[in-house]
């Protein structure tokens, strides 16, 4: 099994690059943002609780997200590996993920962090907001999300760096060129499936 965390601020291209990675390496994609939006659209109790935070650009509480993810890991027993997109977002989430994977006799092998300047992040998120229907489509919420990222999520990079798992990739080249740089790192662990 090969397990990858795709890390980076909002708008850095995690969702976009996950699609390329999933189709090339056949990993099981786990995006907490997608899972939460699905809960919101189905009006589940979890979704109703999460929406309050998401609409304000704040992180959803750890226990909600961790509870949601553990079932998803169980669902995909035969997976070649996982790509975690938008998770873990706090140090407690990173520690919980390590425990969940250890229970399955596996671990996080590699963390790829997309590095993109803040002005470019804002531009991309405003652009996506015009068509996505997502609630994070205005400059105030985008600012809030970036502030949350710096205070709560950035420490996760240090956590993985301490464990020797972090590689940083410049994420403001074209989508294709960025994917090529990510693939160079992944190929050290896993070959593409044609
Ligand atoms: P979530 O959906 O996870 O947001 P995110 O994935 O961090 O951020 P984005 O989806 O905004 O950006 P992205 O990096 O995926 O970029 P994308 O590929 O879309 O989270 C939403 C909310 O849910 C959070 O605010 C929080 O409330 C909650 N939540 C989720 N997970 C949580 C967790 N673990 N703990 C607590 N709360 C959680 O690209 C963005 C745009 O840029 C697109 O339009 C794309 O086409 C464009 N683009 C991408 N790459 C390029 C490129 N190279 N050049 C030009 N444009 C590009
Ligand atoms: Mg995303």
Give all domains of the chain, ordered by start, each with its CATH number. Answer: 2-30+81-186 (3.40.50.300)
Instruction: Check pocket membership of 16 for ligand 1, CB cut-off 6 A.
Output: yes
Give bridge partners of residue 166 from the DSSP assignment: 111
Amino acid 136: pLDDT: 67
Amino acid 28: pLDDT: 95
- DSSP designation for 138: S
Amino acid 133: pLDDT: 73
Q: Please tell me the distance between residue 113's alpha carbon and the centre of ligand 2 in angstroms.
A: 13
Burial 14-49 (b: 16+ CB within 10 A, else e): bbbbbebbeebbebbbbbbbebbbebbeeeeebbee
Give backbone dihedrals phi and psi of 102, rounded to 5 degrees, phi first: -60, -40
Amino acid 180: pLDDT: 98
Pairing of the two strands 28-31 and 82-85: parallel
Amino acid 134: pLDDT: 72
Helix, strand, or coil (residue 133): coil
Q: Please tell me the distance between residue 2's alpha carbon and the centre of ligand 1 in angstroms.
A: 23
| Ligand 1 atom showing the smallest separation from residue 171 Cα | 53
Instruction: Check pocket membership of 15 for ligand 1, CB cut-off 6 A.
Output: yes
Amino acid 71: pLDDT: 86
Nearest ligand to the C-alpha atom of residue 52? 1
Amino acid 24: pLDDT: 97
Give bridge partners of residue 170 from the DSSP assignment: 115
Q: Give average pLDDT by consecutive 10-residue segment, the chain, 194 residues.
A: 97 97 96 96 96 95 94 82 97 97 94 97 89 78 95 98 97 97 97 85
């Amino acid at each position: 099994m090969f397990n990858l965390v795709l890390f980076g601020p909002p708008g850095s291209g995690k969702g976009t690059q996950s699609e390329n990675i999933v189709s090339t390496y056949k990993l099981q994609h786990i995006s907490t943002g997608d899972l939460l939006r699905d809960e919101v659209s189905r009006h589940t109790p979890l979704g109703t609780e999460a929406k309050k935070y998401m609409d304000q650009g704040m992180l959803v509480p750890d226990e909600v997200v961790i509870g949601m993810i553990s079932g998803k890991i169980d669902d995909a027993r035969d997976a070649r590996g996982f790509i975690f997109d938008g998770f873990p977002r706090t140090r407690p989430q990173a520690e919980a993920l390590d425990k969940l994977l250890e229970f399955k006799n596996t671990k996080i092998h590699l963390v790829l962090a997309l590095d993109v300047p803040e002005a470019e992040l804002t531009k991309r998120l405003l652009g996506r907001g015009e068509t996505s229907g997502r609630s994070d489509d205005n400059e105030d919420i985008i600012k809030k999300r970036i502030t949350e990222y710096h205070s709560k999520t950035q420490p996760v990079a240090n956590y993985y760096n301490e464990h020797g798992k972090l590689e940083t990739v410049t994420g403001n080249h074209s989508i294709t060129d960025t994917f090529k740089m990510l693939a160079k790192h992944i190929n050290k662990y896993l070959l593409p499936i044609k």
